[in-house]
Structure 1
Amino acid sequence: MSEIRLHEGELNIMELLWSNKVLAAKDIAKIIKEYIGWEKNTTYTVINRLIDKGAVKREDPGFLCKACISKRTVQNIETKALFNKLYNGSLNTFLTEYLKNQTLSPAEILELERIISEQKL
């Protein structure tokens, strides 16, 4: 199975599904209309795109929608894509550039050192 890439509009719908587990498409459309302003047809088009990608499963009756991919999985896929795009896949380059521009608290430094020492094991 190839990695599922989602755009911002699709992520809005996925956030609702991750929070609510199962929602009818009509309820998703109402919520999205209120918060984003999309018309029902737009929301249904995006839901169908998510179904085609394998990110959402539709159950009848009631056009009930359920996420087929976890939020953590999507975060990992999108993070990897961002690293590849902006840092040629180099975690070292990203961390070096990012940390140069940050003021870390002693607690944050300790946490980073802990994570790094776990990786050495």
Structure 2
Amino acid sequence: MSEIHLHDGELNVMELLWSNRVLAAKDIAKIIKEYIGWEKNTTYTVIKRLIDKGAIKREDPGFMCRALVSKRMIQNIETKEFIARFYNNSLSTFFTEYLKNQSLSTAEILELERIIAENKM
């Protein structure tokens, strides 16, 4: 499977599916209408795009939708893309620049040290 890139509107639908596992398209449209204000046709268009991308699967009866990709998978793809685009593919540059501007707690520092130690092995 090639990497799936999602825009914000598609992520809205995916978040619902990641939270609920399976939803009917009509229920997705109702929830999106209430919280975002999209009309049903807009939501159905986004669902169709997600099906075409291989991010969700539609099952009958009831036009039931289910995520085919995990949230973690999408997070990893988008994080790699972000680091490539803004930090020249350098994870160390990203961390250096990001951490310069953060106030980390002792617990957070210890957790980062633990993660680094685990990755040294």
Q: TM-score, normalised by structure 1?
A: 0.97
Aligned equivalents of 1:16, 1:97: Cα separation in 2: 33
Aligned equivalents of 2:23, 2:107: Cα separation in 1: 40
Q: Provide structure 1 residue ranges, at least 5 long, that are not aligned to the other structure.
A: none
Aligned equivalents of 1:28, 1:120: Cα separation in 2: 44
Over aligned residue pairs, what C-alpha RMSD do you find? Answer: 0.7
Give the structure 1 partner of residue 44 of structure 2: 44
Give the structure 1 partner of residue 61 of structure 2: 61
Q: Provide structure 2 residue ranges, at least 5 long, that are not aligned to the other structure.
A: none
Give the paired residue count: 121
Q: Output the amino acid matched with 1:29.
A: A
Give the structure 2 partner of residue 109 of structure 1: 109
Q: Output the amino acid matched with 2:34.
A: E
Aligned equivalents of 2:35, 2:99: Cα separation in 1: 35
Q: TM-score, normalised by structure 2?
A: 0.97
User: Is 1:86–2:86 an aligned residue pair?
Assistant: yes
Q: Deviations over 1:12-49 (max 9, x none)?
A: 00000011111000000000000000000000000000
Runs of 4 or more above 3 Å deviation? none
Aligned residues with identical type, % of pairs = 79
